Amino acid sequence: MTAQYDALGGSGLQFFGKVSASVSHELKNVLAIINENAGLLEDLTFAARRGSPIDPDRLERAVQNFSKQIRRADEILRNMNRFAHSVDQFEAPVDLGELAGLVAQLAGRKAAMGRIQLETMPPSQPVVLNTNPFLVENLIWLTLEFAIAATAAGGTIGLVPEKSDGAVLLHITGISDMAGSLPGGMPAGHEEILAALGATMSPDMAGSRVTLQLGQAR
């Protein structure tokens, strides 16, 4: 399985860097909002010291915003922690629904910049396979990069895990400009990752989707 990491090359490093940069931007946004609300509390404190009554509604809004941003930061860091630990093992049991959901959350900022929503549709039963978690994350990320670039603003891209005749599939749906974006629109590195995983990618022009066949279910 070490050959899988040889196949990563620059693609894997770029992937890790892009995720890290996105997470840092999100945390900076959280800190900016917290700082703004801290300024509001300073204003309220200053006014109170001068004898003005404290507006309880403004105070409550500030406290609620603090709590909201703390929860947001906690979620961002939990996702980053899960992502960072995906390199711990060359091969491990992977719940595709959970993994696809994680990558969708990590790619949420990129999608939002294009005014696109990402929606993970969990299967009725867990879809689990033994594979390299980091490589699968990288492949899903690259496919989402293509899908976001090929989808008009206001669209919704779906991530739909499925088990079909023992095969583990992930459908990326809602890609509005499939015909105009393939084959040259796929980011560099996806072919090497497909080969390393023994996976395949099948575009469906009529269905506006790409299907990743990732292996056999456990």
Let me know whether 98 and 75 are in one domain. Answer: no
218 band by pLDDT with thresholds 50, 70 and 90: confident
Token pair for 202: 């099948």
pLDDT of 174 higher than 60: yes
User: Do 119 and 170 have their domain in common?
Assistant: yes
Q: How many domains does the chain have?
A: 2
Containing domain of residue 118, as a range?
Answer: 90-216
Long-range (24+ apart) CB contacts under 8 A made by 71-79 are 72/30, 73/27, 73/30, 75/105, 76/23, 76/26, 76/27, 76/30, 77/27, 79/23, 79/105, 79/106
> Mean pLDDT for the chain?
90
Asked if pLDDT for residue 182 goes beyond 70, the answer is no
Is residue 160 a contact partner of residue 121, using CB atoms and an 8 Å limit? yes
Evaluate whether 177 touches 152 at the Cβ level (below 8 Å): yes
Tell me the pTM: 0.88
The residue from 85, 106, 134 where one domain ends is 85
28/127 same-domain check: no
pLDDT at 74 over 50: yes
